[in-house]
Amino acid sequence: MYKTYPMRRILRRDYFQMDIPENRRIGNDMLLLDARSYWVDSEEPFIANATSAIFVTHGSVDVSINMKDYHVTGPSMIIFFEGMVVRQGAIAPGTRMDVFMISKQLTDDILTESNMYGQLRAQIMRDPIFPLTGQQKVTVYFNQLLLKIIEMKDSPYRLEAATHMTLTLFYGFALNHPERLIQKAQSRSENITDRYFELVKQHYRSHRDVAYYADILCITSKYLSQSVREATGKPALQLIDEFVISESKALLRSTDNSIEQIAEAMGFHSQSLFGKYFKRVTGISPREYRKETH
């Protein structure tokens, strides 16, 4: 008999609970990591629990942010916020990166006070990748200075100093990025896709048809599908499938719940329907997938 474990949604990855040395963190407010302690090549997505700025100084990585795939070649910076769905893919041998993470609370404090949250989030939702060609030395100096500040454990002002460095990061590298200054305002397709993504993230267990989301958005299914494809290059249905299959795979791989229990947890009326859906998307049955990963 299978042992029953509590069902769960796509996991949050909490880096602040990791065993990070004191000279690489400021309490539960900031972390500074390298590739070895941060990057995990995995097919399983997670929900970010902090704002992350990843400086890829050399090499390349594949990453998916909000189910949109990117191949990032250094020197580049990747930024995403708490609550975004991230999957860390392949990392090229010899890739070097520095990762700067700040908690949701500190992010809210910094961006609300500086009145830049809406503008910065809109830019990142459009494209979270910021090429840094010609700015390699600046990014190296930025990370070296930030590390020195974090290492000053006896300074009563190190959090304030690091906070100002964060503002420099957002103003200097992101909002003032030359390639972004000429971008147009978010298109209607991008706006619809962002709203669609947030709805799917909330309801993918119970609603797997594009028409349901089109009704909420007060547009036709055809127009929603056209908008999503224009913004992401993917069919609208694929986004739903990716959420459902990602969680289903996590449950099959990391719990001993029966396939029938997993089917029920994922909102399917029967194990048979779940099996047909899973095989349509992945090409193999849930039982075959479990056997391959155990």
| DSSP H or E segment with residue 216 | helix 210-217
**For residue 65, pLDDT beyond 70:** yes
Instruction: Give the confidence band of 130 by pLDDT, cuts at 50, 70, 90.
Output: confident
**By the 8 A CB rule, do 145 and 165 touch?**
yes
The three-class DSSP label of residue 47 is strand
Count Cβ neighbours within 10 Å for each residue of 151-167 and write b for 16 or more, e otherwise.
eeeeeeebbebbbebbe
pLDDT tens digit sequence for 206-233: 999 999 999 999 999 999 999 999 888 8
Residue 79: beta bridge partners?
53
Q: For residue 178, is the peptide bond before it cis, meaning its omega torsion is within 30 degrees of 0?
A: no
Cα–Cα distances (Å) from 42 to 88, 90, 190, 191, 290, in that order, read 6, 8, 27, 29, 16
Domains and their CATH numbers in the chain: 12-181 (2.60.120.280), 188-293 (1.10.10.60)
**pLDDT for 175:** 60
Query: If pLDDT is split at 50, 70 and 90, which confidence band does 133 have?
Result: confident
